[in-house]
Structure 1
Amino acid sequence: MKPTLLVLAAGMGSRYGSLKQMDGIGPNKEAIIDYSIYDAIRAGFGKVVFVIRHSFGSEFREVFNPERFGGKIAVEYVFQELDNLPEGYSVPEGREKPWGTNHALMMGASVVREPFAVINADDFYGQDAIAQMGKYLAALPEGSEGEYAMVGYEVSKTLSENGTVSRGVCTIDAAGYLESIVERTKIERQNGQIVYIEADGTHPLAENTPVSMNLFGFTPDYFRHSEAFFKTFLDQAIASGNLKAEYFIPLLVNKLVSEHTAKLKVLHTTSPWFGVTYKEDRPGTVQKVLDLIAAGVYPRSLWGE
């Protein structure tokens, strides 16, 4: 069974200043999503599922439609909204944004029945990274549960020159499996040293610290675990009055790994990561894509237009 690619594209890119998922950075206005899907097709993925919002759904579907990809991959759409909550729960007064990356992932449960990879729409993961994930998922025995994976990147290769970034900081055991992952929402380089910033101050990170860029691979049982723990997350967020609490993928992954409910293999990649966290990141991203085209990694026109 071919794996599925689940693309988290519901974020409106408030820091970037536009609907960055649709911003053309390639020579023919290809978006970062296009390169990820191109890589997924040649890695053997059979379907792409976009997680989007109703507020821009029509515009998004007009651009990223099945015809765009020449029938080379099946396409489906699901929607993440603030009020996508379990029965008996309601949106707390004052809450404005949906509930984070794992909440977005949960929207795929109705259309995903096979092993699947998860990516952010605005991150450029690279051919090797997606190929490695595709190979891992395709090799899983049918009916596998709790056999997860993640592509790890060195934190020094994932920073922006234009502001802080959010990364899942990982600890890995000697066999290459994840021991723990902690979401750090403010990482940057200060005076030559990489640090993460918390309420109690700054904390150093080694240059080669492995981090998650939300390129995960899961078996379908992950949806069941996600739904169950979402209620616990909501209870804690509501009880604490935290109107900005987010249900991050690393939050649940860390729980399942620490309880030995699942194990997660960390895959290493030769691919460069880059993205457009901020509007100022765009020129560098455009040039890096041109460099990859010049190196023969991608054709100048992805879809033959």
Structure 2
Amino acid sequence: MQKPTLVILAAGMASRYGKMKQIEGFGPNKETIMDYSIFDAIRAGFEKVVFIIREEFEETFKAIMEPKLAGKIKTAYVYQHLTDFVHADAAVSPERSKPWGTAHAVLCAKDEVKENFVVINADDFYGEDGFRKAYEFCTTACSDTNYGIIGYTLSKTLSKNGSVSRGVCKADANGKLVSINERTKIYWKGEQVFFEENGQEFEEDPASPVSMNFWCFSPGVFALSESLFSQFIKERGMEPKAEFFIPIVADHFINTGKGTIQIVGTDAEWFGVTYPEDAPTVEASISALVNAGAYPPALWS
């Protein structure tokens, strides 16, 4: 059996955060959030990690990651460029300055990944249970007609300090994904959860599964993504801020009958950094996990 690969999306511009949060240290010894994800992935059984990065950050990125990962897991690097998979005769907005989003980033790994694989964000802390569930799914259930998404409990992904954006998953009776409803402003109000849409307030079930961009795919997703991206560029290439997101591929996959996407639930606590103000909370959360014995104080020693 070929073991699955971990693919980490680390090419984001980090515009709201203001710096390269992917390589910022939050652990006791300046471990990055990615360090904890990779550590959990190794514990789960993964033997290879592919980083999707911006080529201009290659030297800095490798200098930070390679010394601590050497001998622990195989590494590979993929670059996401604006022109990747864009035909020379395609019409693209001259105002476009950054690549085309998460599904485009995954597509850039096409030549490097030949086995079932897991996709995660670099700046999200997913927890050990999520990686164990993802590894099990990739090795026992993932196929060209059955993908997976790790579903986190909504209440465990919200902030007490304000609203956030979350993709709330709707499942059928068999736990298969039907749709992901993007809630761009969802928040606690007392002990209840609400979201706003078109100026109105609606209640949401705090136990609902949500997508934190933690996916399980077979290599078959590359051909599908390439076809959809070509169509996307034809239709939206002149939009300077258009994004080709993973849910676009997922929606097409299930809505055209090409296959199903299993929602794989986890009870793990999620946390992440979007704004600089999030950093102290992330540091405190990691410190609590280390003090509880979930992780060693020096992760790679």
Determine if the TM-score, normalized by the shorter chain, exceeds 0.5: yes
Give the aligned residue type for 1:41.
I
| Worse-matched range after superposition: 78-87 or 48-57 | 78-87
User: Matches of 2:187 and 2:156 in 1, distance apart?
Assistant: 11
Looking at structure 1, the residues matched to 235 and 155 of structure 2 have their Cα atoms a distance apart, in angstroms, of: 33
1:75 and 2:75 correspond? yes
5+ residue gaps, structure 2, are: none
1:95–1:162 Cα change, 3 Å? farther
- Contact 1:23–1:31 (8 Å) recurs in 2: yes
Q: What corresponds to 1:149 in structure 2? A: 148
Which AA in structure 1 matches 2:274? T
Asked if the contact 1:5–1:49 (Cα under 8 Å) also holds between the matched residues in 2, the reply is: yes
| Residue 201 to residue 234, structure 1, CA distance change in 2 (3 Å) | farther
Query: Normalization by structure 2: what TM-score?
Result: 0.93
State the Cα distance separating 1:76 from its structure 2 match: 0.3
Q: Is the CA contact (8 Å cut-off) linking 2:166 and 2:210 kept in structure 1?
A: yes
Find the counterpart in structure 2 of residue 231 from structure 1: 230
Q: Distance in 1 between matches of 2:231 and 2:39?
A: 38
What amino acid is aligned across from residue 86 of structure 1 in structure 2? V
Maintained 8 Å contact 1:9/1:120? yes
Does the aligned pair in 1 maintain the 2:155–2:207 contact within 8 Å?
Answer: yes
Partner of 1:20: 21
Measure the CA separation in 2 of the matches of 1:162 and 1:83. 39
Letter in 1 for 2:258: T
Alpha-carbon distance, 1:103 to partner: 0.7
Separation of aligned partners in 1, 2:241 and 2:160: 26
Whether contact under 8 Å (2:153, 2:267) holds in the other structure is no
Match of 2:266 in 1: 269
Q: TM-score, normalised by structure 1?
A: 0.91
Contact kept, 8 Å, 1:182 with 1:251, in 2: the verdict is no
**What is the rounded CA distance, in whole Å, between the counterparts of 1:17 and 1:234 in structure 2?**
29
For this pair of structures, how many residues does the alignment match? 297
Residue 187 of structure 1 is matched in structure 2 by: 185
Asked if 1:259 corresponds to 2:251, the answer is: no
Report whether the alignment pairs 1:206 with 2:205: yes
Q: Give the Cα separation in 2 of the matches to 1:164 and 1:249.
A: 23
Structure 1, unaligned stretches of length 5 or more? Answer: none
Amino acid in structure 1 at the alignment position of 2:105: A
Q: Is the 8 A contact 2:159 2:188 kept in 1?
A: no
CA displacement at 1:170 relative to structure 2 = 1.1
In 1, distance between residues paired with 2:246 and 2:113? 17
166 and 117 in structure 1: CA distance in 2 versus 1, 3 angstrom threshold: same
Counterpart of 1:159, as a letter, is: L
Q: Tell me if the contact between 1:48 and 1:74 (Cα under 8 Å) persists in the aligned partners.
A: yes
What is the match of residue 284 of structure 2?
Answer: 287
Runs of 4+ in 1 over 6 A off after TM superposition: none
Identity of aligned residues (%): 45
